[in-house]
Each structure stands twice: as structure tokens, then as C-alpha cells.
Structure 1
């Protein structure tokens, strides 16, 4: 049976729009339900300390609704040295993705670095695993870093894909794909699972999955929500699932 990549939908941008008014719309939980009904394998949130999009209550509300979807996964991502660990301890999602962003950072733009980050990450990774929560580390596509990520106890890495997305349609596209393929293979060789995310979309997703081995999950938010504004949640999620299926043909 062929390996299938899971699609986790990041609903941060739904919260961003909602937060511009005090009406509670669009509903983050309703968005999550519609995406799950369309076949999404999971829901991702990235609650930042300033609550500029996902708020604490959203995390708890989505955790509650995910109880009705026992075959799907809840992934909470963020900086474990800010507010992430409190959510992990209370909610115990299937996966925690550790991201090294600053408190006011516009969006995540780099991964962890080893050995520099190793000792401070190690006890928090161990705590998550004791809670039964899988840990994925947000990483740049550097093959030599993968075994070091495994050595601190991570279960997976999430390859930061913005450089690939930026190269899409340009002469450097193939070289970027080769970078990611090498990093993914190094992760697999180290015993890590491989996730990927950041600026993946319906144009570039299939090519990425065809050339990068063993991607277990992609987390997609901004592009998917932009598409959903035009197509609706159901049609959008189904088309991303088609992109994944096309890569496996």
C-alpha cells in the first residue's frame, strides 16, 4: 500500500478575520468542522502570546470538538519557551510542533539550530512525550541537523518550506527540491518522521511530495484559507487532497 500524506489544516487565518470585529464570525470551530467533514486529517493552530489570531479559548474549543473525531489529529504549534507548554499540558494534543519564533514575529521564518538549542529543548520534549504527545521540531532543510534533532528526543521534524515556495517557477526550483529531498532522507535515516509546511499551495504541493520522500503530514493554512474564500472549505480541502493523491500516482 502506498504511503499517504496527511493534510492538517491550519485555521489561524480564520481567527485573524474574526478578531477584526466582536461578532464571533467567522467561527474557528465551524471552519475546523467543515474541513474535517471534507476529509482533512487534522487541524493545526498556532496560538501566539499576543492572541492576534488564535486565542486560548479557541485551543480548548477545538480540543473539545476533536473528541468527536478520534481518527483525526490536533496539532498545536508554537514556541515552547513562550505559551505553548501550558496548552500542551492542559489539552494533550496528538502532536506538538515546536517553532522558534519571537513573540511579535510576523510569521515563522526559520528552524531550530543544533547543538545550540539542544539542551534547553531536551527537557520540554521529554515532558511532552511523558504526556503522550508526539513532538515535531520546525527545521530548515539541512541534512546534517536531522540526526541532532533525533538525538534530543524529537519524533518528527517539520521542514520549513518557504524557500521552496519562493523558488517555485524559477530556475532554482529543482535545486530547492533536491535540498528538501536530501533533508527528508536524512531525517528518515535518523528515525524521524517528516512533516512539511509554510507557503505550500495547490500549485507547488504535488511536485514537492513527488520528489521529497516519506512526508507524513503537510500543515497548510494561509494558501488554503485564501482558496477557501473563493471556493469554500469543502471544495478547497478536497482539491488539496487531490494534490496529495496526484503525488502518489
Structure 2
């Protein structure tokens, strides 16, 4: 079985700040990590490999050369092959252009049964790239996967999380599945994996725009219909007011405050 996992290196948003004057992200000193949902996607592929030693896992990402760090981490966790789509021509891509580029990379890989992606990236929160890749490859997709099992070699059964429960779906491969954190608990890198992956710079294969069968009009900044005009932090709201007393006293105080603020 051949599995492709799409990964993205993202800034750790727990330490991310926005310049209040320029409205831009302050990236200096902010560590980069594998997108959390993508780690769940990779872990599910690794769990399948644990049960079937004939499974091959290829991780693919699009980004600058520093994204090799994330791919090396994936190799150290147990992936077999890593591909980085990196080219100045890819810069400025929105989700539309990103999915076009990643789909072209996956087409070049050619032989796949399952594609795993994370539900969404923490730096964009769009949840669009995975489904768009499936559409471009013309294969079925199931999003928000929280449980996974095989029915047979060509059929998988997944639970898709909903707001008020879940739905169980049977789907044939090839298929694209987007993972959520409830699916599993990602493993750590192994010591031997770290030694082998981070000790060899050539472990990650790099493909540029000339290596892909893709129309340049549909990728990069020129192929991106969506562009971010401004990033900003919302103004802080005032602190809440604590009202104390009996229920009647609190109700009376609340009415007074609402009238004072011209709500009533």
C-alpha cells in the first residue's frame, strides 16, 4: 500500500504576535513546527504501516527550503520518503494555487492508495487545501476523520466528526482523508530516525516548478485569486462587571447598567 501525507511547516501560533503598526506577523524568534493536524495525519499513516510492513509512506510539502526540517522530522517518525515543492514561483500562493501545486506533485508520485492531510493549518484555518487537492485529482474525500479502519484492501470505513455526533462512511480507495486531533496521538521521533534523517541533507527530494506538469498561470501569486490585504489584532474590549447580591438585587443592578449604556 502506498500512502501520501501532506504536511505544512507553520509558525507556532502560541508564540505568534502581530505588529500593531504594520499589521504584519512578527516571525523573528518564532519557532516553526509541523502543523498539529498534519501530525495526526502522519500518525495514522504510520499506524497502518505498523500493521502492514509493505506500506510505503511519502510525505510532501510546499514551502521554502527551511521546510526540510519538518520533512526530516516526519522521516524520523517513520516516513519512508520526503518531497519538498520549493520554488520562488510558488511564493504568494493562496489555497487555490497551493492545492494546484500539491496536486501536481502527487500526480508525479502517481502511485497512491490513500492521501492523508490535516483538517486545517493553524496559520490560516481555512480547511480548504485538502478538499481542493481531492477535487483536482478527481478522487473521493472525507473530511474531519476521527476514526479509521479497513474493511478490505480497497475499502476503508471512517467516522466523520459532526457538531452533534458523527457519521460512518464506507469509501473505496484511492481516497483523500483529512485528520483531526481526535483520530490519534502522534508519536515522537525515534533516536535512530533522528540520526538517519537529520544527518543526511539529501534525504529530502526537492522539486521546483520545472519538475511539475503544471500551468504556471494557475500557481503562485499570479494564480491566486485570494490575497490578504491586512492583518490586525482586534481592539480589546473592556473588562466585565461583576454584580453581587441576591437575584433581585443583581437583576436591578443589571437593568441600571444596561440603561446607563443605552442598551435599554
TM over 0.5: no
Which has the greater radius of gyration? 2
TM class, shorter-length: 0.3 to 0.5
TM-score (normalizing by structure 2): 0.31
The structure whose RCO (Cα within 8 Å, separation 6+) is larger is 2
Structure ranking higher in strand proportion: 2
